[in-house]
Amino acid sequence: MSEAQTVELAAVTKRYGDALAVDAISLKIRAGSYCCLLGPSGCGKSSTLRMIAGHEAVSDGDIMIGSRIVNDDPPALRGTAMMFQSYALFPHLSVAENVAFSLRMKGVAKDERLARAARMLELVSMSDFADRTPNLLSGGQQQRVALARALMTEPSVLLLDEPLSALDPFLRVRMRSELRRIQSELGITFIHVTHSQEEAMALADLVVVMNEGRIAQAAPPREIYNAPRTPFVARFIGGHNILEDGGRTITLRADELAILPEGRASEAQRRARISEIEYRGPDVRLGLETEAGESLTAVMGERDFFESPLREGADVAVGWRPEAAHELARDG
Amino acid sequence: MTDLTDTRAEVRSARTSARKAGRTGAALAPYLQAAPMALVFLIFFVLPLAATIAVSFWQYTQYSIEPAFTAQNYGDVFYGCLANLPSLCTTFLTYISTLKFCLIVWATTLTIGFTIAYFLAFHVRTLKVQVICFLLCTIPFWTSIVIRMISWIPLLGRNGLVNQTLMGMGVIDSPLEGLLYSDFAVILALTHLYTLFMVVPIFNSLMRIDRSLIEAARDAGASDLQTLRHVIVPLAKPGILIGSIFVVTVVMGDFLTIGIMGGQQIASVGKVIQTQMQFLQFPLAAANAVILLAAVLAAVWALLRLVDIRKEL
């Protein structure tokens, strides 16, 4: 496998006619790190990935991989490989020939390319399926083949376009840990587009939250979760309450919001009515309506909740530690 | 729980009885729907075909046709063919000439048809423009075959547009003779007529190719030519096959185009059959027709062996 490379975007812009899909974003992704581009659909994350891959021309700005500007290079010269959302396996070729496709294009002899494909299929535990055609495989199996095919070009950067979105939830979690394992084994740079904050949190060294063609925040997952920069980021990653407090916009993690016992009601910042109680196994989620009309969410540990259970419709005092409040910048 | 199970059972039995009541009518419907086409096929295709095969075994003289069972007609078709080898008999020469046109026209329509279909599918972006381009391709079919044939004469004739232009430009001194009433003219006219039969099915196949497959090929380092050879052509096979069957069957039986464009000087199997019919040698013509049918079916069978059409569709 070739050496990992840094990927650097400098004011990269993508325009489709008059529509601005990606608006002058700049970003540096360290070599060998796992980066997730996270955002709602239409935020420009896929266009960004496709520009890095070379399947979409850059309207403005530069893309650097390693120390080279690759704007005009075809995909194969960039040292990138892409794994497509629909997997894009060639339906007329066997699994082994799919994986060996890039070698075939280079003119590698049949025996050698099939031998190397077999080794790659071992890495993704698909050796038993080498002779089948892709339409006989399940979604998860197709994905492993697509991964093997992408890795076959020995890329220094692997680009993944919503790789897990077509899988069922159980498989998604399993493939997630497998992706992480393969990334750390190969040590190459992974750039992964997703709209699932859970996926991004679980996988990434660097989470890039995008909105309307711009980067809302780029930081490690813990920083994103504990110190979201804008209300959009806080809302998108979830588990946060955004409220106005003393003229500033603050965010509070749902597990920092406490239901205060009657004895400490004087410390309460808000009074609220419980609108919803949702039991979730390890914890319990409370929906709260404050007197000021704000909707808040509190999450309590399962044991804590059942020590003094609450009922829907009950009026409670709500408080938080002052340090837990995190001030947000404006969106945009 | 018991209640629920009961209700479900009731619903099921109600559904079953409803289905039973409507069954006789419903079972007949598909047959009725298929009946008109089946009748047309039976009366205008199966019956005449059966009659042709039957007549091909009848006896004939210069003034009469008699029902009998004789293989004489088939013997006459191939008269002297084996005895005189290696020199070829008329029948073999005619078939070879027809096959030659068939192969050349197949090659030209495939090349031109694939190119047009590729352009329409991959370079024309909007459906509207694709439809307009398609209509442009069908313009030759807006007039009758006779008018289309005759229109070649002012273009390719001795004093036609092409010759006059070339002479006007000083490229040639005397008119080219081979433009009209020649192999070239036949191939040109047939290609012009049947390219559309290639375009439509190939276009249909190309439109069904997932565009991300082409990106995946590029991603794997394939050049445009390699993508064409290893991804697009294999996936367009069903369309190529259907178009090929159209063209091969139509050209094998053609007598009108080869007759007119060849100046009635070029032999073709269809032309032979037509001539024999003019001389009222119906059993001989029928025998020739059956042999032609067998040849065409063999060609289609060979094409189908190349691509498993059921799997591809």
- CATH code: domain of residue B271: 1.10.3720.10
Nearest residue in chain A measured CA to CA from B216: A88
Q: Where are the alpha helices (DSSP H) in B22-126?
A: 23-41, 47-55, 72-77, 90-118
Same domain, A159 and A62: yes
Same domain, B214 and B128: yes
Query: What's the pLDDT at B6?
Result: 53
Per-residue pLDDT band for B9 (boundaries 50, 70, 90) equals low
C-alpha span between A150 and B61 (Å, rounded):
75
Same domain, A41 and A162: yes
Does the beta carbon of B47 lie under 8 angstroms from any beta carbon of chain A?
Answer: no
What tens digit of pLDDT does each residue of B127-181 get? 899 889 888 888 878 888 778 878 888 888 888 888 889 888 888 888 888 888 8
Residues of B in contact with A51 (CB under 8 A): none
ipTM: 0.84
Same domain, B34 and B109: no
Rounded to a whole number, what is the distance in Å from the CA of B183 to chain A's nearest CA?
Answer: 39
Residue A263 has pLDDT above 70, yes or no: yes
Residues of B in contact with A150 (CB under 8 A): 219
Residues of A in contact with B226 (CB under 8 A): 105
Question: What whole-number percentage of chain B has pLDDT above 90?
Answer: 37
Instruction: Classify residue A308 as exposed, middle or buried by CB count within 10 Å of its CB (0-12, 13-18, 19+).
Output: exposed
Same domain, B41 and B126: no
- A267: in domain: yes
- B15: in domain: no
**Window 153-212 of B, Cβ < 8 Å to A:** 210, 212
- B226: in domain: yes
Query: What's the pLDDT at A288?
Result: 92
Residues of B in contact with A89 (CB under 8 A): 216
Q: Are A26 and A11 in contact (CB under 8 A)?
A: yes
Per-residue pLDDT band for B1 (boundaries 50, 70, 90) equals very low
Q: Is the Cβ pair A105, B230 closer than 8 Å?
A: yes
Q: Is the Cβ pair B223, A105 closer than 8 Å?
A: yes
Same domain, A130 and A142: yes
Residues of B in contact with A153 (CB under 8 A): 219-221
Question: What torsion, rounded to 10 degrees, do the Cα atoms A68, A72, A77, A80 define?
Answer: 80
Does the beta carbon of B219 lie under 8 angstroms from any beta carbon of chain A?
Answer: yes
Same domain, A172 and A289: no
Residues of A in contact with B230 (CB under 8 A): 101, 104-105
Instruction: Classify residue B169 as exposed, middle or buried by CB count within 10 Å of its CB (0-12, 13-18, 19+).
Output: exposed
Rounded to a whole number, what is the distance in Å from the CA of B16 to chain A's nearest CA?
Answer: 35
Same domain, A48 and A10: yes
pLDDT average, residue stretch A97-118: 94
Q: Kind of pairing, strands A157-161 and A189-194?
A: parallel
Same domain, B207 and B295: yes
C-alpha span between B108 and B244 (Å, rounded):
11
Residue B17 has pLDDT above 50, yes or no: yes
- B6: in domain: no
Mutate one of B208, B219, B313 to test the A interface: name it (highest A CB count within 10 A). B219
- A332: in domain: no
Helix (H, G, I), strand (E, B) or coil at A17: coil
- B8: in domain: no
Query: A152, A170, A193: which is the final residue of a domain?
Result: A152
Picking from A85, A88, A105, the nearest residue to B213 by CB comes out as A88
Same domain, A213 and A301: no
Domain of residue A108: give its range: 93-152
Same domain, A232 and A277: no
Does the beta carbon of A150 lie under 8 angstroms from any beta carbon of chain B?
Answer: yes
Q: Kind of pairing, strands A206-211 and A34-38?
A: parallel
Same domain, B47 and B111: no
pLDDT average, residue stretch A47-57: 94
Query: What's the pLDDT at B77?
Result: 83
Domain count, chain A: 3
Does the beta carbon of B125 lie under 8 angstroms from any beta carbon of chain A?
Answer: no
pLDDT average, residue stretch B90-106: 90
Same domain, B163 and B281: yes
Residue with more model confidence, B195 or B8? B195
Rounded to a whole number, what is the distance in Å from the CA of A163 to chain B's nearest CA?
Answer: 14
Same domain, B29 and B148: no
Rounded to a whole number, what is the distance in Å from the CA of B251 to chain A's nearest CA?
Answer: 31
User: Picking from B11-25, B82-96, B250-264, which range would have the lowest pLDDT averaged per residue?
Assistant: B11-25
Per-residue pLDDT band for B11 (boundaries 50, 70, 90) equals low
Picking from A55, A86, A102, the nearest residue to B220 by CB comes out as A102
Residue type, A56: E
Domain count, chain B: 2
Same domain, A215 and A252: no
Residues of B in contact with A16 (CB under 8 A): none
Per-residue pLDDT band for A1 (boundaries 50, 70, 90) equals low
C-alpha span between A106 and A91 (Å, rounded):
21
Query: What's the pLDDT at B228?
Result: 94
Residue B14 has pLDDT above 60, yes or no: no
Q: Is the Cβ pair B218, A75 closer than 8 Å?
A: yes
Nearest residue in chain A measured CA to CA from B222: A105
Picking from A89, A91, A102, the nearest residue to B221 by CB comes out as A102
Length of chain B: 313
Same domain, A198 and A258: no
Residue B258 has pLDDT above 90, yes or no: no
Same domain, B136 and B253: yes
Residue type, A100: A
Same domain, B229 and B106: yes
The CATH number linked to A1 is: 3.40.50.300
- B77: in domain: no
- A229: in domain: yes
Name beta bridge partners: A27.
A9
Residue A21 has pLDDT above 90, yes or no: yes
Between the alpha carbon of residue B219 and those of residues A31, A55, A159, A289, B227, the distances in Å are 21, 8, 11, 52, 11
Contacts of A234 (CB under 8 A, 6+ apart): A228, A240, A242, A251, A328
Buried b (16+ CB within 10 A) or exposed e, B263-281: eeebbbbbbbbeebeeeeb
Query: A238, A260, A284: which is the final residue of a domain?
Result: A238
Domain of residue B102: give its range: 88-312
Mutate one of A97, A102, A153 to test the B interface: name it (highest B CB count within 10 A). A102
pLDDT average, residue stretch B79-93: 79
Query: A172, A205, A238: which is the final residue of a domain?
Result: A238
Backbone angles phi, psi at A300, to 5 degrees: -120, 150
Does the beta carbon of A201 lie under 8 angstroms from any beta carbon of chain B?
Answer: no
Residue B99 has pLDDT above 70, yes or no: yes
Contacts of A133 (CB under 8 A, 6+ apart): A91, A92, A93, A94, A95
| DSSP letter, residue B41 | H
Does the beta carbon of A281 lie under 8 angstroms from any beta carbon of chain B?
Answer: no
- B12: in domain: no
- A85: in domain: no
Same domain, B185 and B48: no
- B232: in domain: yes
C-alpha span between A318 and A270 (Å, rounded):
5
Contacts of A2 (CB under 8 A, 6+ apart): A79, A154, A155, A156, A188
Query: What's the pLDDT at B2?
Result: 45
Residue B101 has pLDDT above 80, yes or no: yes
Does the beta carbon of A230 lie under 8 angstroms from any beta carbon of chain B?
Answer: no
Same domain, B49 and B93: no
DSSP A25-40: EEEEE-TT-EEEEE-S
Picking from A81, A85, A104, the nearest residue to B219 by CB comes out as A81
Same domain, B235 and B107: yes
- B240: in domain: yes
- Put the strands of the sheet holding A34-38 in their side by side order: A80-83, A157-161, A189-194, A34-38, A206-211, A214-219
Query: What's the pLDDT at A214?
Result: 94
